[in-house]
Chains A and B, each alone.
Chain A
Amino acid sequence: KNQVEQSPQSLIILEGKNCTLQCNYTVSPFSNLRWYKQDTGRGPVSLTIMTFSENTKSNGRYTATLDADTKQSSLHITASQLSDSASYICVVRNTGTASKLTFGTGTRLQVTL
Protein backbone atom coordinates (compact mmCIF):
# COMPACT_ATOMS: atom_id res chain seq x y z
CA LYS A 1 0.00 0.00 0.00
CA ASN A 2 1.31 3.46 -0.90
CA GLN A 3 1.99 5.43 2.25
CA VAL A 4 3.61 8.70 3.27
CA GLU A 5 4.63 9.17 6.88
CA GLN A 6 5.78 12.45 8.36
CA SER A 7 7.56 13.31 11.56
CA PRO A 8 7.34 14.93 13.93
CA GLN A 9 3.59 15.30 14.11
CA SER A 10 4.02 18.75 15.65
CA LEU A 11 6.90 21.03 16.50
CA ILE A 12 7.35 24.28 18.42
CA ILE A 13 10.47 26.37 17.83
CA LEU A 14 11.66 29.85 18.68
CA GLU A 15 11.75 32.50 15.99
CA GLY A 16 15.11 32.55 14.26
CA LYS A 17 15.87 28.90 14.87
CA ASN A 18 16.21 26.24 12.20
CA CYS A 19 14.22 23.04 11.96
CA THR A 20 13.99 19.91 9.82
CA LEU A 21 10.86 18.00 8.96
CA GLN A 22 10.97 14.39 7.80
CA CYS A 23 9.00 12.44 5.22
CA ASN A 24 9.28 8.69 4.56
CA TYR A 25 7.32 7.09 1.76
CA THR A 26 6.58 3.70 0.30
CA VAL A 27 5.00 4.96 -2.93
CA SER A 28 6.20 2.98 -5.92
CA PRO A 29 6.92 3.53 -8.72
CA PHE A 30 7.98 7.01 -7.72
CA SER A 31 7.41 10.04 -9.95
CA ASN A 32 7.93 13.13 -7.83
CA LEU A 33 7.61 14.52 -4.34
CA ARG A 34 6.26 17.91 -3.31
CA TRP A 35 6.30 19.77 -0.05
CA TYR A 36 3.27 21.95 0.58
CA LYS A 37 2.67 24.64 3.21
CA GLN A 38 -0.87 24.90 4.51
CA ASP A 39 -1.81 27.91 6.61
CA THR A 40 -4.79 27.51 8.92
CA GLY A 41 -8.02 27.84 6.98
CA ARG A 42 -6.27 27.93 3.63
CA GLY A 43 -5.49 25.43 0.90
CA PRO A 44 -2.00 23.95 0.57
CA VAL A 45 0.59 25.89 -1.44
CA SER A 46 3.50 24.14 -3.15
CA LEU A 47 6.99 24.94 -1.84
CA THR A 48 9.17 22.56 -3.86
CA ILE A 49 8.93 19.65 -6.27
CA MET A 50 11.61 17.00 -6.56
CA THR A 51 12.03 14.27 -9.14
CA PHE A 52 13.98 11.04 -8.89
CA SER A 53 17.27 12.56 -10.02
CA GLU A 54 17.21 15.58 -7.73
CA ASN A 55 18.84 15.48 -4.32
CA THR A 56 18.39 19.04 -3.11
CA LYS A 57 16.20 21.96 -4.03
CA SER A 58 15.88 25.33 -2.35
CA ASN A 59 13.14 27.93 -2.27
CA GLY A 60 14.28 30.87 -0.20
CA ARG A 61 14.66 29.73 3.40
CA TYR A 62 13.21 26.31 2.54
CA THR A 63 15.53 23.51 1.41
CA ALA A 64 14.21 20.09 0.49
CA THR A 65 16.30 16.96 0.14
CA LEU A 66 15.44 13.64 -1.43
CA ASP A 67 17.06 10.23 -1.09
CA ALA A 68 15.24 8.05 -3.57
CA ASP A 69 17.18 4.96 -2.48
CA THR A 70 15.98 5.12 1.12
CA LYS A 71 12.69 6.80 0.12
CA GLN A 72 13.19 9.68 2.47
CA SER A 73 12.81 13.43 2.11
CA SER A 74 13.38 16.31 4.45
CA LEU A 75 12.37 19.95 4.52
CA HIS A 76 14.78 22.27 6.29
CA ILE A 77 13.62 25.72 7.33
CA THR A 78 16.33 28.25 8.08
CA ALA A 79 15.99 31.27 10.34
CA SER A 80 12.33 30.60 11.06
CA GLN A 81 9.79 33.41 11.11
CA LEU A 82 6.41 33.67 12.79
CA SER A 83 4.81 33.40 9.36
CA ASP A 84 6.30 29.93 8.96
CA SER A 85 3.72 28.68 11.46
CA ALA A 86 1.65 26.26 9.39
CA SER A 87 1.25 22.62 8.50
CA TYR A 88 3.81 21.19 6.11
CA ILE A 89 2.58 18.35 3.96
CA CYS A 90 4.67 15.87 1.99
CA VAL A 91 2.96 14.58 -1.15
CA VAL A 92 4.23 11.80 -3.39
CA ARG A 93 3.08 11.08 -6.93
CA ASN A 94 2.97 7.56 -8.31
CA THR A 95 3.90 7.09 -11.95
CA GLY A 96 1.43 4.28 -12.23
CA THR A 97 -1.68 6.40 -11.69
CA ALA A 98 -2.68 9.46 -13.62
CA SER A 99 -4.47 11.33 -10.94
CA LYS A 100 -3.74 10.08 -7.46
CA LEU A 101 -1.31 11.57 -5.04
CA THR A 102 -0.48 10.16 -1.64
CA PHE A 103 -0.55 12.81 1.05
CA GLY A 104 1.18 12.70 4.40
CA THR A 105 -0.74 13.84 7.46
CA GLY A 106 1.59 16.81 7.85
CA THR A 107 3.80 18.35 10.50
CA ARG A 108 2.22 21.18 12.44
CA LEU A 109 4.93 23.83 13.01
CA GLN A 110 4.50 26.64 15.48
CA VAL A 111 7.10 29.41 15.60
CA THR A 112 7.01 31.48 18.78
CA LEU A 113 8.73 34.56 20.14
Chain B
Amino acid sequence: GAGVSQSPSNKVTEKGKDVELRCDPISGHTALYWYRQSLGQGLEFLIYFQGNSAPDKSGLPSDRFSAERTGGSVSTLTIQRTQQEDSAVYLCASSLGPSDNYYEQYFGPGTRLTVT
Protein backbone atom coordinates (compact mmCIF):
# COMPACT_ATOMS: atom_id res chain seq x y z
CA GLY B 1 0.00 0.00 0.00
CA ALA B 2 0.95 3.63 -0.25
CA GLY B 3 3.29 5.02 2.35
CA VAL B 4 3.46 8.46 3.87
CA SER B 5 3.76 11.11 1.20
CA GLN B 6 4.91 14.69 1.53
CA SER B 7 4.82 17.64 -0.78
CA PRO B 8 6.61 19.48 -2.09
CA SER B 9 9.80 17.44 -2.03
CA ASN B 10 11.87 20.60 -2.29
CA LYS B 11 10.97 24.19 -1.53
CA VAL B 12 13.14 27.25 -1.95
CA THR B 13 11.73 30.44 -0.55
CA GLU B 14 12.88 33.93 0.22
CA LYS B 15 13.35 35.08 3.77
CA GLY B 16 10.14 36.54 5.13
CA LYS B 17 7.78 34.52 2.96
CA ASP B 18 5.27 32.01 4.32
CA VAL B 19 5.43 28.33 3.34
CA GLU B 20 3.05 25.40 3.66
CA LEU B 21 4.23 21.83 3.81
CA ARG B 22 1.82 18.96 3.29
CA CYS B 23 1.73 15.44 4.70
CA ASP B 24 -0.53 12.59 3.62
CA PRO B 25 -0.31 9.82 6.21
CA ILE B 26 -0.94 6.15 5.63
CA SER B 27 -4.68 5.51 5.42
CA GLY B 28 -6.09 4.50 8.78
CA HIS B 29 -3.20 5.85 10.83
CA THR B 30 -4.59 7.95 13.64
CA ALA B 31 -1.32 9.41 14.89
CA LEU B 32 0.75 11.90 12.90
CA TYR B 33 4.04 13.59 13.76
CA TRP B 34 6.16 16.38 12.34
CA TYR B 35 9.92 16.46 12.79
CA ARG B 36 12.72 18.72 11.62
CA GLN B 37 16.11 17.40 10.59
CA SER B 38 18.90 19.94 10.28
CA LEU B 39 22.27 19.12 8.75
CA GLY B 40 24.33 17.10 11.18
CA GLN B 41 21.58 17.11 13.81
CA GLY B 42 19.23 14.47 15.08
CA LEU B 43 15.55 14.64 14.30
CA GLU B 44 13.80 17.30 16.34
CA PHE B 45 10.20 16.71 17.38
CA LEU B 46 7.80 19.49 16.42
CA ILE B 47 4.20 18.38 16.97
CA TYR B 48 2.06 15.28 17.45
CA PHE B 49 -1.54 14.78 16.31
CA GLN B 50 -3.93 12.13 17.53
CA GLY B 51 -6.85 12.39 15.16
CA ASN B 52 -7.42 16.07 14.51
CA SER B 53 -6.23 17.27 17.89
CA ALA B 54 -2.66 18.06 18.87
CA PRO B 55 -2.04 16.90 22.43
CA ASP B 56 1.61 17.83 22.17
CA LYS B 57 2.84 20.85 20.25
CA SER B 58 5.67 21.61 22.60
CA GLY B 59 8.35 21.15 19.94
CA LEU B 60 7.24 24.03 17.74
CA PRO B 61 10.21 26.43 17.92
CA SER B 62 8.26 29.68 17.74
CA ASP B 63 4.83 31.12 17.09
CA ARG B 64 5.77 31.38 13.41
CA PHE B 65 5.21 27.63 13.23
CA SER B 66 1.74 26.13 13.21
CA ALA B 67 0.15 22.92 12.04
CA GLU B 68 -3.29 21.55 11.51
CA ARG B 69 -4.84 18.26 10.60
CA THR B 70 -8.24 17.87 9.05
CA GLY B 71 -10.47 14.84 8.67
CA GLY B 72 -8.03 12.80 10.68
CA SER B 73 -5.87 12.57 7.59
CA VAL B 74 -3.90 15.26 5.77
CA SER B 75 -1.79 17.65 7.80
CA THR B 76 -0.17 20.94 6.86
CA LEU B 77 2.75 22.58 8.59
CA THR B 78 2.88 26.34 8.07
CA ILE B 79 5.92 28.49 8.66
CA GLN B 80 5.28 32.22 8.59
CA ARG B 81 7.90 34.86 7.88
CA THR B 82 10.55 32.26 7.19
CA GLN B 83 14.07 32.77 8.47
CA GLN B 84 17.29 31.25 7.21
CA GLU B 85 17.55 29.09 10.32
CA ASP B 86 14.31 27.40 9.25
CA SER B 87 16.22 25.69 6.44
CA ALA B 88 16.05 21.96 7.11
CA VAL B 89 14.34 18.77 6.03
CA TYR B 90 10.85 18.52 7.48
CA LEU B 91 9.76 14.93 8.02
CA CYS B 92 6.27 13.67 8.66
CA ALA B 93 5.48 10.29 10.18
CA SER B 94 2.31 8.41 10.97
CA SER B 95 1.47 5.42 13.14
CA LEU B 96 -1.48 3.12 13.49
CA GLY B 97 -2.29 4.02 17.04
CA PRO B 98 -1.52 6.33 19.92
CA SER B 99 2.08 7.22 20.36
CA ASP B 100 2.31 5.83 23.86
CA ASN B 101 2.16 2.31 22.54
CA TYR B 102 4.76 0.48 20.54
CA TYR B 103 3.29 1.32 17.17
CA GLU B 104 5.99 1.93 14.60
CA GLN B 105 6.21 5.35 13.05
CA TYR B 106 6.37 5.29 9.26
CA PHE B 107 8.19 8.27 7.81
CA GLY B 108 7.64 10.17 4.62
CA PRO B 109 10.52 11.23 2.36
CA GLY B 110 10.57 14.73 3.76
CA THR B 111 10.41 18.24 2.36
CA ARG B 112 13.75 20.00 1.98
CA LEU B 113 13.19 23.66 2.78
CA THR B 114 15.80 26.23 1.81
CA VAL B 115 15.32 29.83 2.89
CA THR B 116 17.49 32.28 0.94
Q: Quick one: CB contact mask for A74-113 with B, threshold 8 Å, 1 for yes?
A: 0000000000000001010000011111111110000000
Shortest distance between the CB of A20 and any CB in chain B (Å): 20
Counted as pairs of residues, one from A and one from B, with CB atoms less than 8 Å apart, the total is 59
The range of chain B's interface size is 20 to 34
Check B104 for interface membership: any CB of A closer than 8 A: yes
Question: Cβ of B71: which chain A residues have Cβ within 8 Å of it?
Answer: none
Asked whether, in the complex, the Cβ of A42 is within 8 Å of the Cβ of B33, the reply is: no
Shortest distance between the CB of B59 and any CB in chain A (Å): 7
| Residues in B60-109 with C-beta less than 8 Å from chain A | 91, 93, 98-100, 102, 104-109
Asked whether, in the complex, the Cβ of B59 is within 8 Å of the Cβ of A100, the reply is: yes
Question: Cβ of B56: which chain A residues have Cβ within 8 Å of it?
Answer: 97-100
Partner of A100, one of B45, B102, B107: B45
Complex CA–CA separation, A89 to B48 (angstroms): 20
A41-B109 contact given A98-B56, A98-B99, CB 8 Å threshold: yes
Question: Cβ of A42: which chain B residues have Cβ within 8 Å of it?
Answer: 109-110
Asked whether, in the complex, the Cβ of B42 is within 8 Å of the Cβ of A98, the reply is: no
Check B40 for interface membership: any CB of A closer than 8 A: yes
Knowing that A43-B107, A46-B104, A101-B45 touch, tell me 4 more A-B residue pairs with CB under 8 angstroms: A91-B43, A98-B100, A99-B45, A103-B44
29 contacts between A and B (CB under 8 A): A32-B102, A41-B109, A42-B109, A43-B4, A43-B107, A43-B108, A43-B109, A43-B110, A45-B107, A49-B104, A89-B43, A91-B43, A98-B56, A98-B100, A99-B33, A99-B48, A99-B55, A99-B99, A99-B100, A100-B45, A100-B56, A100-B58, A100-B59, A101-B45, A101-B105, A102-B42, A103-B42, A103-B43, A105-B41
